[in-house]
Structure 1
Amino acid sequence: MTEDYLKIQKQGVFSAGGTFQQAAGTFDPINGQMAPAGQTRHADHASVLYQLPVDGNGHAMMFLHGYGQSRTGWMSTPDGRPGFSDIFLKKGYGVYLIDQPRRGEAGQSSVATQIPATPDDQNWFTQFRLGLWPNFIENTAFPKDDASLDQFFRQMTPDTGEFDIPVITSALVAAYEKSGPAVLVSHSQGGVPGWFIGMASENVTGIIAIEPGTFVFPEDEVPDIIPTKYPMPVQGVGVPAKDFAELVKKPIAIYFGDNIPSEPSNVPAWDFWRGVKQLANEFVATVNRHGGDAKVVYLPDEGIHGNDHFMFEDLNNQEVADHMGNWMAERNL
């Protein structure tokens, strides 16, 4: 019987990028502890937890979470099974797990914000395609017991400052300067800065985008807005042609889970994903037209069923990871 455990050669945590502020005046350590005069603030950095396996395959992956999430979502599953970080460590990859600026362990912000405390779990249950509360989608691969759902909801964590794409991009480029070459794995909201990180860093060797919120296009090739019933429009973002040309150099795979309607849906959140998937196909066509290597992977077409927005936490996350691993191996990533 073979023991199932991880063999870690090296691990640690570091901060990357960020801002430095200093208030005018001179700090008085005796009488001025609570006054800003002369004091400094280190903020807006990324926090990076990394693990490097024994007998690695020579490649690495950097994981960037989505909205309301942190790196913990990659580390385990709501029912306690191994997460993507352990799965890919066993495949021989070094893993770098990000908390983006103003989120999670990188919560120190240079700008103030008000953190809401409004109950909203059921909204995310629908948005993430688990089902229509209180009912799960029939074929869902999400663990449906109460304890797992409780753990899933407790992953949510707020922004401690404005979501700022340039700030996130700058911090992640700095993280890549420390990590060296790695595939960028982005999720949901993280897919938006993910495109800019891919354009800005030569160390991004490829991109796996898990249901990203939107896509970039050359400024003169941005498609029309895709109408959906969701209150936020589905539309691309224009970038300079020279920046898009940098992105095109990297192999790109965009993964979508199951239960995305092919026709307009009366559920606004699900109709949103219909529009995003349509926009993904237009993005892939644009990348490939410019000489790139991009594809949309719709998991049901690959024989992998029941996945929601969090395919890396589902009961079949090993099967999803194997598919991604094969895609990377085919490209020597």
Structure 2
Amino acid sequence: MGGRYVTAPGTFKQENFLAPDGQRAYGDFAYVFYQTPVNAKRLPLVFQHGGAQSKRTWESTADERDGFQNLFLRKDYSVYLLDQPRSGEANLSIRAVAPDTPWVSNPMYHDKTFYILSRIGHFDADGRPVANAQFPAGDAAYQAFQQSWSVGSGPLDNDLNADVLAQLADKTGGAVLVTHSMGGNIGWRAAMRLNKVKAIGAWEPGGTPFVFPENEMPQIVQASFPALSATAIGVPLEDFQKLTRIPIVLYYGDHIKLGSDNVGEDKWGTELAMAKQFVAAVNRHGGDAELVHLP
């Protein structure tokens, strides 16, 4: 889905075939896997993953139980799993990786840091994981969780990601978007690009900016580590109003607490505070948005 290329100057010569002269770099496409059941419901579900992830998010749990892919397929929904450009099986990029992408420059970043920031759990003073009632216990599940990351092959570009997500919704003739984490921003932007996005279910959107009318910017709640704070960007009101024409639901789980000494819980406390302001802004302009806090 999508894709583009750039061409190096010069002329390709076989005797110098390793040189870039006259050759093209292809990339920036999305990879899409889809399944359509017999007697499928009218609108498919399009699943947009979060940051440093891939369509693997939706395929199965860390202990190999069915993921959303199979759960919704059994409910007669067509399911589309997307690897956004520069991620997973769409990892060709026309731009080199950026040094400010920490999970590219430091492979150790995946381990306890992502475990904490994802609120799967946290570690005590001795470095041992604290028991969690929901995440499957044991080293095998922990390792499966850590092996699910996709480092990306180029800089994060959510305008590019929104473009291809909107193209996919257009190609299916309309779709419900299911987004996760950093993918939430991509879903908002895709819905503002065309009217083929019919609804959005966002699982813990955050990590990239929420969108607001440019003259109604929200209050920023600071995290203990300011760089982890929720963020927002302004868009023209006429673009924001496109979000008021579709139903939107946001889901947040447990281990969210502003001021917590766990950086993940604190960081997501700021995201939840921002999400409440986002929902209020959508509804203030006549929309139908709801925030569900599960605990």
Q: CA RMSD in A?
A: 1.5
1:106 paired to 2:90: yes
Out of 166, 171, 179, the residue aligned to residue 173 of structure 1 is 166
Question: Does the CA contact (< 8 Å) of 1:230 and 1:269 recur in 2?
Answer: no
CA distance in 2, matches of 1:234, 1:47: 29
Paired residue for 2:72?
88
Number of matched pairs: 282
Match of 1:320 in 2: none
Structure 2 counterpart of 1:200: 193
- What is residue 21 of structure 1 aligned with on the other side? 6
**TM score, norm. by length of structure 1:** 0.81
Cα deviation for residue 137 of structure 1 reads 4.6
Distance in 2 separating the partners of 1:231 and 1:180: 41
Letter in 1 for 2:176: V
Structure 1 unaligned spans of 5+: 1-15, 301-333
> Percent of aligned positions with the same letter in both sequences?
40
User: In 2, are the aligned partners of 1:70 and 1:99 still within 8 Å (CA)?
Assistant: yes
CA displacement 1:101-160 (0-9 Å, x = unmatched): 11111111111126324312111111111221222354x311112111111110011021
The alpha-carbon deviation at position 41 of structure 1 amounts to 2.4
Return the alpha-carbon distance in structure 1 between the equivalents of residues 290 and 131 of structure 2: 27
Alpha-carbon separation, structure 1, partners of 2:17 and 2:285: 57
Q: 2:30 aligns with which of 38, 46, 55?
A: 46
Deviation at 1:249, TM superposition (A): 1.0
* Residue identity in the other structure for 1:122: K
Match of 1:250 in 2: 246
Identify unmatched segments of 5+ residues in structure 2: none
SS at 1:31's partner residue?
Answer: helix
| Residues 238-271 of structure 1: CA deviation (Å, up to 9, x unaligned) | 111011011211110000011212x521222211
Deviations 1:287-316 (A, max 9, x none): 01101000001112xxxxxxxxxxxxxxxx
Given residue 260 of structure 2, which amino acid in structure 1 is its aligned partner?
A: S
Query: Cα distance, 1:81 vs. partner?
Result: 0.7
Aligned partner of 1:240 in structure 2 is 236
C-alpha distance in 2, partners of 1:298/1:78? 23
Tell me what 2:278 maps to.
283
* Matched residue type, 2:31: S
Which residue is 1:62 aligned to? 46
Residue 122 of structure 1 is aligned with which of 98, 101, 112?
112
Query: How far, CA to CA, are the matches of 2:259 and 2:68 in structure 1?
Result: 32
